[in-house]
A and B are shown apart, each in its own frame.
Chain A
Amino acid sequence: MNIEIKSTSYLIPNNSSWENLHKDNKLKFAEYNNIFNNTKFNQKTECEIFVLFLKDIIDYYKVLNNINKSEIKKIKLIINFIEKKISTYKKKNFIISISSYYYFNHLNSSKNKPFEKETEIFFYKELYKLSKIYPNLYILNIDDLFSFHGHKSCFDERNYSLFRCRLSVFGLKLLSDKLSEIILRIKITNKKVLLLDCDNTLWGGVVGEDGIEKIKLGQDGIGLAFLEFQKAIKKLQESGIILGLVSKNNHEDVINVLEKHKSMILKKKDISIFKINWNQKSQNIRQISKDLFLGLDSFVFWDDNPIERNKIKNEIKEVDVIEPEKDVSYWSKQLLEYNGFSKFEITKEDYAKTKQYKSRSVFIEKKESSKSEISYLKKIKIKAELKNIGTDSIDRASQLSQKTNQFNFSTKRYKIADIKNLKKTHFCFLAKLSDIYGDHGLVSLIILKKYRKILYVDSFLMSCRIMGRYLENWLLDQIKKIAIKNNIKNILFEFIPNKKNKELITNFIKFNDLAKIKKKDLFKIEKKLNLNNNKYTEYYIINTKQKIKNLEIYGKKN
């Protein structure tokens, strides 16, 4: 990223503290105390960082009696300048970092609110107003950042006297590291799932051996530390992070604690994923990734057992395995300070997503636990419906075609205009689905073309969110019915394999006994076929007489 740094103070551009930021970015420092100037490299800059010291802006020595309007005006000017910039360059990112550090006189401020404090509060209030309006604005509170190490080691008065740098080299390094973390998060999205062990992670002791009464949770000592850790987890969950338990344990024991232990902060409803069994944890995690259609790189793994941690580290490199502090008391702090989950915006969609994943994993869990998959699916009242593409649904049709990867036979990407054209010569359908887990909306797109002896499936795709309901079989049956209506005996599927669609489509082909056919044999049946030239394309045929499995889920009508 091209970054420009502007500050009211000299920031020692050549100092090795900036190494981290230099590594992945192109860094330019503007002349210091010249923040209002638009420099030449403006156009290329993707991110502008402001490092502001209120001390450099406001003449505190002039301020008497806690009222000074001209000084507040200066802050207003800066806010206006920032807003103007942010609103003009919406594609650029802006990081505003501020320090309002001043010399305390605690005796004075024991009675009177210092003016410095007031300006600070005013500045932040105005800035956070802006950050709500403009997604490209980020704020960093330098004083909070320094508070852990102390002002004494982060600021340096000598450096100011010598070369107008407010910070010590150590403070500079902290600032540069935090800035590079923010920039990294702008580039890479956050983790989505926190996978937790149970025994000695959520509580002290082993529930299977000690029993629910004797696990350590809530009481003073280590029990309180585990409680605090659970509070931190709950806070993440509230912000939209998905929680999963991956534990070698008896399922009932853990559920028992979740439901009955009075000190538990985490309840059963907070957890989206339960993998409590005696399988290898890596195997469980891969399964979760498959079930939820989430990449392995969106998982974070927290386990007290170093052997389990090492296994995951070696077997699934994408998963972020956390090394917990030795003392459980620090876990809560460690988790909340962990950057992987931090995201800049929590939108309504985030909450909806958590809900979606929850309902999906509940669906999968119940399906697996019920004795017969089919009888379970019959119970959840699945309703499917085929719909023609109308003006109100054509954009959804195009969206499905553009975005669906895994269950997609040909991965042909159609824009709205393409689908409008196809509608003139092809049969085009969308499928709608609902069940007791909710109305899933339009989840599938099918495009068919009739030749004399063959019904050619140009596109057959389905959203992965609803996998497991055998909707694909119902759709296949619908295609069959269209073929019968048109007096066609054979349906031709074109499968263009790639990394993403290979697994699901191959399974579908096997499950429904689709017969592979060579291109040249195809032309013996139907000469007019207009097929693509991709040499990896495979062709499959199904006869309309063939029976399709599992349709009973969809009731007798279908």
Chain B
Amino acid sequence: MEKKIKFKKIKKALKKAFPRSKINKNIINLKIGSLKKWDSLGNLDLILEIEKEFKIKFTIDEMTNIKSIDEIEKALKKREKK
């Protein structure tokens, strides 16, 4: 998948998970704690939205380890390779 489209989709999921937060153009450096509502529960909301957006399902390990946009991007990349 093209990087541009990928980040567009991630951003869309971010907006859905945190509808009241302002999200900057550059999201690559965002991680847990960067947004007001992005706590451990918010993290789950985000990952579930990512799953919905990309129509994939993370494993339980992935879900417990993913804590930032960077890690989300890497997990998605891993899937593409498979």
Q: Are A and B co-members of a single complex?
A: yes
Nearest CB in chain B to that of A162: its residue:
B63
Using Cβ atoms and an 8 Å threshold, which residues of chain A touch B57? 158
Of all chain A residues, which has the CB nearest B44? A163
Q: Mark A166-198, 1 if CB is under 8 A from B, else 0.
A: 000100000000000000000000000000000
Residues of B within 8 Å of A162, CB to CB, are: 44, 60, 63-64
**Using Cβ atoms and an 8 Å threshold, which residues of chain B touch A12?**
44-45, 48
| Residues of A close to B37: CB separation below 8 A | 14
By Cβ-Cβ distance, the 8 closest A-B pairs, closest first, are A14-B45, A16-B16, A158-B60, A169-B48, A162-B63, A163-B44, A161-B60, A169-B52
- Nearest CB in chain B to that of A173: its residue: B52
What's the least CB distance linking A149 to chain B, in Å? 15
Q: Chain B 19-58, CB within 8 Å of chain A: the 1/0 string? A: 0000000000000000001000110110011011000010
Looking at B16, B48, B57, B64, the one whose CB has the most chain A CB atoms below 10 A away is B48
**Chain A neighbourhood of B17, CB < 8 A:** 14, 16
* Residues of chain B with a CB closer than 8 A to A16's CB: 16-17, 49
Other A-B contacts than A16-B17, A158-B63, 12 sampled, CB-CB below 8 A, are A12-B48, A14-B17, A14-B37, A15-B45, A15-B48, A16-B16, A16-B49, A158-B57, A158-B60, A162-B64, A163-B41, A169-B48
Give every chain A residue within 8 A of B63 (Cβ-Cβ). 158, 162
Complex-state Cα separation, A169 to B49, whole angstroms: 9
- B interface majority secondary structure: helix
Alpha-carbon distance A15/B42, docked complex (angstroms): 9
How many residues of A are in contact with the other chain, CB < 8 A? 9
Bound Cα distance from A169 to B52, whole angstroms: 8
Bound CA–CA A163/B51 (angstroms): 16
Kindly list chain A residues whose C-beta atoms are within 8 Å of the C-beta of B60.
158, 161-162
A16 to B64, CA, bound (A): 21
Q: Can you pick out 10 interface pairs between chain A and chain B where the beta carbons lie within 8 Å of each other?
A: A14-B17, A14-B41, A14-B42, A16-B16, A16-B17, A158-B57, A158-B59, A158-B60, A162-B44, A163-B44
Chain B positions within 8 Å of A, measured between CB atoms, are 16-17, 37, 41-42, 44-45, 48-49, 51-52, 57, 59-60, 63-64
Residue in chain B with minimal CB distance to A169: B48
Enumerate chain A interface residues (CB-CB to B < 8 A). Answer: 12, 14-16, 158, 161-163, 169
Q: How far is the CB of B80 from chain A (nearest CB, A)?
A: 21
CB A21 to nearest CB in B, in angstroms, measures 15
Residues in chain B near residue A163, CB distance under 8 A: 41, 44
- The residues of A that contact B64 with a CB separation of less than 8 Å are 162
Bound together, the chains give a CA A158 to CA B51 distance in angstroms of: 13
- A210 CA to B7 CA, complexed, in Å: 61
Which chain A residues lie closer than 8 Å to B42 at the CB level? Answer: 14
Closest to B15 in A: A16
Residues of chain B with a CB closer than 8 A to A15's CB: 45, 48-49
B11 to chain A, nearest CB (A): 15
User: In the complex, what residues of A have CB within 8 A of residue B49's CB?
Assistant: 15-16
**Chain A nearest CB, measured from B29 CB (Å):** 23
How near does chain A come to B60, taking the closest CB pair, in angstroms?
Answer: 5
Q: Which residue of B lies closest to A165 (CB)?
A: B44
Query: In the complex, what distance in Å separates the CA atom of A14 from the CA atom of B16?
Result: 9
Complex: A158 Cα to B48 Cα, angstroms: 12
Please measure, in the bound complex, the distance between the C-alpha atom of A163 and the C-alpha atom of B63, giving whole angstroms: 11
Bound-state Cα–Cα, A201 to B52, Å: 40
Specify which chain B residues have a CB less than 8 angstroms from the CB of A161 in the assembled complex: 60
A161 closest partner in B (C-beta): B60
A30, chain B: closest CB distance, angstroms: 15
Report how far A14 CA is from B18 CA in the complex, Å.
9
Query: Which chain A residue shows the least CB distance to B47?
Result: A162
Q: Roughly how many angstroms separate A169 CA and B13 CA in the complex, as a whole number?
A: 14
CB-nearest residue of chain A to B63: A162
Given the complex of chains A and B, what is the CA–CA distance between A112 and B68 in angstroms?
Answer: 50
Docked Cα-Cα span, A161 to B62, in Å, equals 13
In the complex, what residues of A have CB within 8 A of residue B44's CB?
Answer: 12, 162-163
A193 to B58, CA, bound (A): 49
Nearest CB of chain A from residue B17's CB, rounded to whole Å: 7
Q: How far is A341 from B17 in the complex, measured between Cα atoms in Å?
A: 36
Contacts of B45 in A (CB 8 A): 12, 14-15
- Chain B's closest residue to A158 (CB) is B60
Question: What residue of chain A has the Cβ atom nearest to residue B46's Cβ?
Answer: A14
Residues of chain B with a CB closer than 8 A to A158's CB: 57, 59-60, 63
Neighbouring A residues of B48 by C-beta, 8 Å = 12, 15, 169
CA distance A158 to B60 in the complex (A): 6
Residue on A with the closest CB to B13? Answer: A16
CB distance from A555 to the nearest CB of B (A): 74
Q: Output the residue of A14, A16, A161, A169 with the most chain B CB within 10 A.
A: A14
Q: What CA separation (Å) do A15 and B57 show in the bound complex? A: 16
B78 to chain A, nearest CB (A): 17
Q: Could you tell me the distance between the alpha carbons of A546 and B69 in the complex, rounded to whole angstroms?
A: 90
Smallest CB separation, B74 vs chain A (Å): 20
CB distance from A101 to the nearest CB of B (A): 19
Measured between alpha carbons, how far is A169 from B45 in the docked complex, in Å? 10
State how many angstroms separate the Cβ of B22 from the closest Cβ of chain A. Answer: 17
B51 and A169 within 8 A (CB): yes
Q: Give B52's nearest chain A residue, CB to CB.
A: A169
Q: How far is the CA of A163 from the CA of B46 in the complex (A)?
A: 14
Inter-chain CA distance A158–B42, complex, in Å, is: 17
Closest to B49 in A: A16
Bound Cα distance from A323 to B48, whole angstroms: 34
